[in-house]
Amino acid sequence: MDQSKKLNNRLLKNIFFFTITATMAVVLFALPRIFIPFGIAYILSLMVRPLVNVFYSSNIQKKTFAVLLTVLFIFAFIYPVVSGVSSIGEEAHKLEFYLPRAESYLRQQYLEFKDMVFQRLNYEIKMNPVDELVRIGQEYTQSLFVYLPKLLGSLLEWGLIIPLFLIFILKDGRKLRFSYIKIIPNHMVEKTYYFFHQFNTKFGDYIFAKFVEAAIVGTVITTGLLIIEFPFALLLGLFAAITNILPYIGPLLGFVPALIVGLVDQSPALGQMTLLYLIANIIDLALVFPILVSKIVNLHPLVVVVSVILGSQVAGIVGMIVSIPLAAFLKLFFVEIYNELYANPTLK
Amino acid sequence: MSYESEIKDKTGKDSFRNDRLNIPVLKYFWQASPLSGTRSKGVHNFLRKVSVLDNFTDYELRRFSKFLHLRNFHPGEKVFLEGSGGFGFYLIYSGNVDIKSGVSTGGEDQLITTLGEGEYFGELALLEERSVRNATAQAKNQVTLLAFFKPDLDELTERYPVVASKLLRSVSLIVSRRFKAVASELKMLKEKLKVVESGSKQEAK
């Protein structure tokens, strides 16, 4: 009787824990307007963790610190967005007039190429890849460049909610975490807490490293393009910074629009621009990546590529960013399970 | 003027009622009182009694106590299993815990020791990168444990390095005590083995 009572109690605890966890997950994912700013605030809280620890060891009050950090956040993130929106918006507006020029340039180049093939090989190319390319290009450019100011605008909207969540997470996050740990059943508390911690660490460190990496690449390219007076310097710098998130193909992808702009404009700075992109990526590959990112993510290149493709398919740009630390965490998780099940001779 | 007459003066003038009640001072005296329930039964007070935490100051114990998780176990419930990965160190707040191992018997759990209030186990999990439990810990009766997990150690190290270093010193102390105990047991076993060997040699002659 007593035994069955204990079993019931254990079962109830398990059911309660899984119900609470599932409910929290469902509520968060069902409400994207809360989930996205909350997710960003959470990532920010992970990123500022080293700073938090400095403040803790210097005995500054939690509330004071949260307010200080929010002010810092407003100046570091909101101010550049506000000042950047107008100039990037201007560039995006110019782009609307620029795109038809690029299209006609590509068509002309393609026709010339077609003629050349016909003259030399007496073969007529029937397919027309330019139409398809232009259609894809238009779709992507519209959704990326034209939508960019709108996205930055909604960032401003989040500017109010994110600091609020950030204060809440910094002030009470630990209390909440401890309360959640209380309801984890005894037999799984150690591992759940450890994996949760590992996930947080990997996620926070990776996002922070990638953010710094993208900022360095973006700044180098924007500054360089401004110096050589290349058109669309801000947009191209921003695009290069965003595509830098993608491993391997990201830097190449970031270079393509700059190359098209250079070719269409018959820019004399084309060579300088190519050199600039090369230098920026060498700085990234030789200095920033080995110091910042590679220590955090120890994955096979194939796994990295596959996880990025899967991430982009599931959740777009956010998916691309999240996929690598998630893959690193899953690797750790499976290695741990494997060790627990197979590699341990003493396990009964 | 004495304190009483000052109070009397103030109450007489009706100004005392306007004075604010100093809650932090009251809280301090309440907690400092030896008769206070929270003081005699609290986690912080319990930690003072743990011998390996002798080197902690009162303030450090209070900080450390904020990182501990109070967990209850029913009689017979397992805290951890032999051979499983370990990420936690436990202090016994109340009750008894049986430490068992099945390695020497090849499966059947054999009782090694029973630990009581103020004792601790699972300390290697804090030191090793991937710790594997070398014994099973099982609640003998209704047990309350104070758990300190590896992620807590990381956080403690980052936030309060002095407290973390003292804790690691204490854990090292526990490990060295266990090592000494094992070494002396090994020595004793070797001597016994010698006696047995010499006995069997004499018998063979």
Model confidence at B14: pLDDT above 60: no
What is this model's ipTM? 0.72
Q: Do A348 and B82 touch (CB under 8 A)?
A: yes
Q: Do A196 and B151 touch (CB under 8 A)?
A: yes
**For testing the chain A interface, which of B73, B89, B132 should be mutated: the one with the most A CBs within 10 Å?**
B132
Model confidence at B199: pLDDT above 70: yes
At residue B193, the pLDDT reads 92
| Residue B139 to residue B145: CA distance in whole angstroms | 10
- Of the candidates A57, A182, A193, the beta carbon closest to that of B159 is on A57
Q: Are residues B132 and B173 in the same domain?
A: yes
Q: How far is A34 from chain B (nearest CA, A)?
A: 28
Q: How far is A305 from chain B (nearest CA, A)?
A: 29
CB-count burial class (<10 Å; 0-12, 13-18, 19+) for A4: exposed
Query: Contact at 8 Å (CB) between B41 and B163?
Result: no
| Residue A168 to residue A165: CA distance in whole angstroms | 5
Q: Are residues B121 and B181 in the same domain?
A: yes
Residue whose pair of structure tokens reads 């009470």 in the numeric block:
A172
How many Cβ atoms sit within 10 Å of the Cβ of residue A208? 19
Any CB–CB contact under 8 A between A186 and chain B? yes
Pairing relationship of beta strands B85-86 and B143-149 according to DSSP bridges: unpaired
How confident is the model over A294-320, as a mean pLDDT? 76
- Of the candidates A57, A194, A348, the beta carbon closest to that of B87 is on A194
| Residue A177 to residue A200: CA distance in whole angstroms | 12
Q: Which residues of B touch A348 (CB under 8 A)?
A: 81-83, 102, 107
Residue whose pair of structure tokens reads 């009964």 in the numeric block:
A348
How many Cβ atoms sit within 10 Å of the Cβ of residue A150? 12
Determine what percent of chain A is predicted with pLDDT higher than 70: 83
Q: Do B149 and A190 touch (CB under 8 A)?
A: yes
Q: Are residues B66 and B9 in the same domain?
A: no
At residue A85, the pLDDT reads 64
By CA distance, what is B144's nearest residue in A?
A: A186
At residue B184, the pLDDT reads 92
Structure tokens at A86: 């107008």
The residue range of the domain holding B68 is 43-198
Q: How far is A157 from chain B (nearest CA, A)?
A: 33
At residue A29, the pLDDT reads 79
Residue B205 falls within a domain, yes or no?
no
* CA-closest candidate to residue A209, choices A243, A237, A245: A245
Q: Are residues B100 and B21 in the same domain?
A: no
At residue A348, the pLDDT reads 41
* CA-closest candidate to residue A170, choices A317, A68, A267: A68
Q: Torsion over CA of B137, B138, B144 and B146, rounded to 10 degrees? A: 10
Q: Are residues B122 and B28 in the same domain?
A: no
Q: Do A339 and B79 touch (CB under 8 A)?
A: no
Q: Do A9 and B74 touch (CB under 8 A)?
A: yes
How confident is the model over A101-120, as a mean pLDDT? 82
Q: Write the CB contacts of A45 (distance below 8 Å, at least 6 apart in sequence).
A: A52, A166, A169, A170, A173
Domain residue ranges of chain A, discontinuous segments joined by +: 31-183
Structure tokens at A146: 């034209």
Q: Are residues B12 and B109 in the same domain?
A: no
Q: Are residues B60 and B156 in the same domain?
A: yes
Residue whose pair of structure tokens reads 């400092």 in the numeric block:
B32
Q: Are residues B25 and B105 in the same domain?
A: no
* CA-closest candidate to residue A264, choices A97, A129, A126, A93: A97
CB-count burial class (<10 Å; 0-12, 13-18, 19+) for A6: middle
Residue B123 falls within a domain, yes or no?
yes
Q: Do B103 and A190 touch (CB under 8 A)?
A: no
- Selected residue with higher pLDDT from B197 and A153: B197
Q: Write the CB contacts of A278 (distance below 8 Å, at least 6 apart in sequence).
A: none
Task: Please state the φ and ψ torsions of residue A126, each to the nearest 5 degrees.
Answer: -90, -30
How confident is the model over A254-276, as a mean pLDDT? 82
Q: Are residues B138 and B194 in the same domain?
A: yes
Any CB–CB contact under 8 A between A83 and chain B? no
Task: Please state the φ and ψ torsions of residue A294, each to the nearest 5 degrees.
Answer: -60, -30
How confident is the model over B154-158, as a mean pLDDT? 88
Any CB–CB contact under 8 A between A179 and chain B? no
Q: Are residues B14 and B63 in the same domain?
A: no
| Residue A280 to residue A237: CA distance in whole angstroms | 11
CA distances from A262 to A232, A239, A304 (A): 10, 15, 31
Q: Which residues of A touch B83 (CB under 8 A)?
A: 344, 346-348
Q: Are residues B133 and B67 in the same domain?
A: yes
Write the DSSP symbol of residue A341: H
Q: What is the pLDDT of residues A130-184, one digit of tens each?
A: 777 777 766 766 666 666 677 777 777 777 788 888 888 888 888 888 999 999 9
By CA distance, what is B156's nearest residue in A?
A: A53
Q: Write the CB contacts of A214 (distance below 8 Å, at least 6 apart in sequence).
A: A241, A242, A244, A245
Count chain A–chain B contacts defined by CB atoms under 8 A.
71
Per the document, the length of chain B is: 205
| Residue A179 to residue A26: CA distance in whole angstroms | 19
Q: Are residues B3 and B69 in the same domain?
A: no
The total number of structural domains that make up chain B:
2
Q: Which residues of B touch A194 (CB under 8 A)?
A: 87, 149-151
Residue B111 falls within a domain, yes or no?
yes
Judged by DSSP in three states, B36 sits in coil
Model confidence at B11: pLDDT above 70: no
At residue A347, the pLDDT reads 45
Q: How far is A163 from chain B (nearest CA, A)?
A: 23
Query: Contact at 8 Å (CB) between A330 and A318?
Result: no
At residue B38, the pLDDT reads 52
Q: What is the pLDDT of residues B84-123, one digit of tens each?
A: 888 899 999 999 999 988 765 566 778 888 999 989 998 8
Q: What is the pLDDT of residues A59-97, one digit of tens each?
A: 666 667 767 777 776 676 666 666 666 666 677 677 777
Residue B175: CATH number of its domain: 2.60.120.10
Q: What is the pLDDT of residues B17-67, one digit of tens each?
A: 556 677 777 777 776 665 655 545 688 888 888 888 888 888 889 889 989
Q: How far is A73 from chain B (nearest CA, A)?
A: 22
How confident is the model over A275-287, as a mean pLDDT? 84
At residue A132, the pLDDT reads 77
- Selected residue with higher pLDDT from B6 and B159: B159
Q: What is the pLDDT of residues A218-250, one digit of tens each?
A: 889 989 988 888 888 888 888 888 888 777 677
Q: Which of residues 28-67 of A touch B (CB under 8 A)?
A: 49-50, 53, 56-57
- Of the candidates A190, A336, A346, the beta carbon closest to that of B103 is on A346
Max Cα distance, chain B (Å): 106
Q: Do A340 and B85 touch (CB under 8 A)?
A: yes
The count of C-alpha atoms lying within 13 angstroms of the C-alpha of B135, restricted to the half-sphere facing its C-beta, is: 17
**For testing the chain B interface, which of A55, A180, A190 should be mutated: the one with the most B CBs within 10 Å?**
A190
DSSP calls for B132-197: E-SSEEEESSSEEEEEEEHHHHHHHHHH-HHHHHHHHHHHHHHHHHHHHHHHHHHHHHHHHHHHHH
Q: Report pTM.
A: 0.69
